[in-house]
C-alpha cells in the first residue's frame, strides 16, 4: 500500500527486505551458468569448490562444505556426530529445522529457554536442561546476534564432554571479539535461503576445523558414497549436494557479504541513534558491545499490552512501512507438529516471540527509508499505539 505525503504523490512502500543482485552481478552469474550448461559440469564442480574456499577463508574455518540447504547442513552434522537415541539441547526460540534435523538424525531435541537480552541461551539454562543422555548443544544466533556467553558456553560444553554446534543460519559474517559465528564449536551451519543476509537461491554451508567431520560430511552429502567416482554407499546419506548454478549465485553474493553487512550496520546505527535520542516506546534488542552483528534482523521489543498485529497493520496502511515477519512468532513447542517438545521453563522464549517486531532492514536501504520508518514509529507513539 502506497502512503501519501503532503505533496499528494503516493510513495512506494518501505519493504521489509530487498534481495539485491546488480545488473553486473546478474551478467556475471548468467555467463557462468551458461558455461556450466555448455560443459555439463552441473554439480560438485569448480564453482562449488571456489564457493567453499571463499567461505572458509572469510569465516576463518579450516573447511567449508557446500550443501543443498541449511536444513541438510544441520542434518549432515548431526548424522556425523551420531545423535541416534541421544538428547540434544536446542533453543525453543528457533526455526523448525534446528529441531527437525535432530529428529531426522535419530535424536531427541530438549528445549532451552532464551535470554531476552540476546535472544540466545545461557550457560545456566544449559545446566538446567542437561539430561544424563545429552550428547550435545545447539546454539542459534537469532537475528545475527552472537551472545557474549559464547566463550562460556563453549567451555561448559568441553567441561561436560559435549559437542557444541552452531546453527548460524542467521549469522553470516557476525562475530564476537573477531571470532566468527560458526567457529566456536565442532561445526557451524549456514543457510543461503533467499531472505538471508546472502543467498545462493537455495543452499547451505557446513564449516568446521575438524578434518574427520569435514571428510564425513562430504560423504553424507553425496548419498553416503565412499567417493564421487565410486558407487559404494558407506553411510546413510542423501542427495544433499549443491548444484553448480546455486554455487555460482552464492559465490557472487558472498563476494559482497562484508559490504552488505557494513551497509546493514550503518542502517542499524541510524535506528540505534534515534532510539537512544527519543522515546519511541520500543526497546531494541541490541547485540553485546563486543559483537559485530550482521543485522540479519533489527528486532525491537514492544511494551506489554501493545497490540502487535494492530501496530504492524497501522504502519503499513498509514505510512507504507512494511515490517518483516517476526524472527519467530512462536517458540517451537507452540507449533502443532512439535507440541510434544513442550516442557517447563520456556517462558522467556514465549515472551520474546510474542512481544517483538522486526523493522525493515536490508543492505540497499536508504537513509530516507530508515527515516520514513522512524517517522512512522514516532507517529505511532504520538497516537498512543506503542504505549
Ligand atoms: C535458524 C535456522 N535454521 C535452519 C534454517 C534452514 O535453512 P534452509 O531454509 O536453508 O533449509 C533456517 C532457515 O530459514 C533458519 O533460520
Query: Phi and psi of 190, rounded to 5°?
Result: -120, 155
- Ligand 1 pocket, residue 208 CB under 6 Å: no
Whether 162 contacts 154, CB under 8 Å = no
pLDDT given for residue 301 in this prediction: 97
Q: Render each residue's pLDDT in the chain as its tens digit; 387 residues.
A: 445 554 455 789 999 999 999 999 999 999 999 999 999 999 999 999 999 999 999 999 999 999 999 999 999 999 999 999 999 999 999 999 999 999 999 999 999 999 988 899 999 999 999 999 999 999 999 999 999 999 999 999 999 999 999 999 999 999 999 999 999 999 999 999 999 999 999 999 999 999 999 999 999 999 999 988 889 999 999 999 999 999 999 999 999 999 999 999 999 999 999 999 999 999 999 999 999 999 999 999 999 999 999 999 999 999 999 998 999 999 999 999 999 999 999 999 999 999 999 999 999 999 999 999 999 999 999 999 999
Q: What is the DSSP secondary structure assignment for residue 45, as one 8-state letter?
A: S
pLDDT given for residue 6 in this prediction: 47
**C-alpha 193 to ligand 1 mean position (Å):** 7
For the CA of 204, the nearest atom of ligand 1 = 10
- Ligand 1 pocket, residue 193 CB under 6 Å: yes
- Ligand 1 pocket, residue 95 CB under 6 Å: yes
**C-alpha 70 to ligand 1 mean position (Å):** 5
Burial pattern 10-34, b for ≥16 Cβ within 10 A else e, equals eeebbebbeeeeeeeeeebbeebbe
- Ligand 1 pocket, residue 191 CB under 6 Å: yes
pLDDT given for residue 372 in this prediction: 98
- Ligand 1 pocket, residue 183 CB under 6 Å: no
**C-alpha 203 to ligand 1 mean position (Å):** 10
Whether 316 contacts 13, CB under 8 Å = yes
For the CA of 69, the nearest atom of ligand 1 = 10
Q: What is the rounded CA–CA span in Å between residue 348 and residue 350?
A: 5
The alpha carbon torsion through 301, 302, 308, 310 (nearest 10 deg) reads -140
- Ligand 1 pocket, residue 120 CB under 6 Å: no
Whether 73 contacts 204, CB under 8 Å = yes
Pocket probe mutation, ligand 1, options 191, 327, 331, max atoms within 8 Å of Cβ:
191
The size of the chain, in residues, is 387
pLDDT given for residue 229 in this prediction: 86
Closest CA to ligand 1's atom 7:
70
Burial pattern 357-373, b for ≥16 Cβ within 10 A else e, equals bbbbbbbebeeebbebb
pLDDT given for residue 228 in this prediction: 83
If 0-12 CB within 10 Å is exposed, 13-18 middle and 19+ buried, where does residue 84 land?
Answer: exposed
* Cβ within 8 Å of residue 60, ≥6 positions away: 179, 180, 183
**C-alpha 145 to ligand 1 mean position (Å):** 16
pLDDT given for residue 4 in this prediction: 52
pLDDT given for residue 8 in this prediction: 52
Domains of the chain, CATH where assigned:
23-255 (3.40.640.10), 257-382 (3.90.1150.10)
The alpha carbon torsion through 130, 133, 135, 141 (nearest 10 deg) reads -40
**C-alpha 210 to ligand 1 mean position (Å):** 23
Q: What is the rounded CA–CA span in Å between residue 154 and residue 166?
A: 10
* Cβ within 8 Å of residue 116, ≥6 positions away: 285, 301, 348, 351, 352
Closest CA to 297 of 3, 10, 16, 14: 16
Amino acid at each position: 500500500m502506497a502512503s501519501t505525503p503532503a505533496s499528494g504523490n503516493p510513495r512506494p512502500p518501505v519493504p521489509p527486505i530487498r534481495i539485491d543482485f546488480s545488473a553486473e552481478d546478474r551478467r556475471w552469474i548468467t555467463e557462468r551458468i551458461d558455461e556450466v550448461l555448455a560443459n555439463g559440469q552441473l554439480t560438485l564442480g569448480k564453482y562449488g569448490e571456489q564457493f567453499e574456499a571463499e567461505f572458509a577463508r572469510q569465516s576463518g574455518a579450516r573447511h567449508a562444505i557446500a550443501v543443498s540447504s541449511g536444513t541438510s547442513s544441520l542434518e549432515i552434522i548431526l548424522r556425523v556426530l551420531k545423535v541416534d537415541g541421544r538428547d540434544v539441547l536446542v533453543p525453543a526460540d528457533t526455526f523448525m529445522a534446528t529441531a527437525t534435523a535432530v529428529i531426522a538424525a535419530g535424536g531427541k531435541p530438549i528445549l532451552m529457554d532464551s535470554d531476552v537480552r540476546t535472544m540466545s541461551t545461557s550457560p545456566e539454562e544449559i545446566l538446567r536442561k542437561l539430561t544424563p543422555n545429552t550428547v550435545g548443544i545447539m546454539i542459534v544466533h537469532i537475528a545475527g546476534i552472537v551472545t557474549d556467553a559464547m566463550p562460556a558456553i563453549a567451555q561448559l560444553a568441553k567441561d561436560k564432554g559435549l559437542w557444541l554446534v552452531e546453527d548460524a543460519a542467521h549469522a553470516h559474517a557476525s562475530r564476537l571479539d573477531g571470532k566468527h559465528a560458526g567457529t566456536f564449536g565442532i561445526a557451524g551451519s549456514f543457510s543461503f535461503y533467499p531472505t538471508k543476509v546472502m543467498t545462493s537461491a537455495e543452499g547451505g554451508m557446513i564449516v568446521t576445523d575438524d578434518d574427520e567431520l569435514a571428510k564425513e560430511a562430504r560423504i553424507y552429502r553425496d548419498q553416503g558414497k565412499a567417493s564421487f567416482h565410486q558407487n559404494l554407499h558407506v553411510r546413510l546419506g542423501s542427495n544433499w549436494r549443491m548444484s553448480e548454478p546455486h554455487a555460482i549465485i552464492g559465490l557472487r553474493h558472498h563476494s559482497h557479504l562484508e559490504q552488505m553487512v557494513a551497509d546493514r550496520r550503518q542502517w542499524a546505527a541510524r535506528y540505534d541513534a534515534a532510539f537512544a535520542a527519543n522515546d519511541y516506546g520500543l526497546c531494541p534488542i541490541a547485540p553485546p558491545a563486543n559483537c559485530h552483528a550482521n543485522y540479519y534482523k533489527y528486532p525491537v521489543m514492544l511494551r506489554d499490552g501493545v497490540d502487535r498485529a494492530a501496530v504492524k497493520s497501522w504502519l503499513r496502511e498509514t505510512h507504507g512501512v512494511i515490517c518483516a515477519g517476526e524472527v519467530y512468532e512462536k517458540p517451537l513447542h507452540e507449533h502443532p507438529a512439535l507440541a510434544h517438545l513442550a516442557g517447563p521453563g520456556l517462558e522467556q522464549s514465549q515472551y520474546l516471540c510474542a512481544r517483538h517486531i522486526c523493522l525493515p532492514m536490508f543492505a540497499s536501504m536508504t537513509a530516507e527509508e530508515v527515516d520514513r520508518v522512524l517517522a512512522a514509529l514516532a507517529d505511532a507513539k504520538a497516537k498512543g499505539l506503542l504505549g
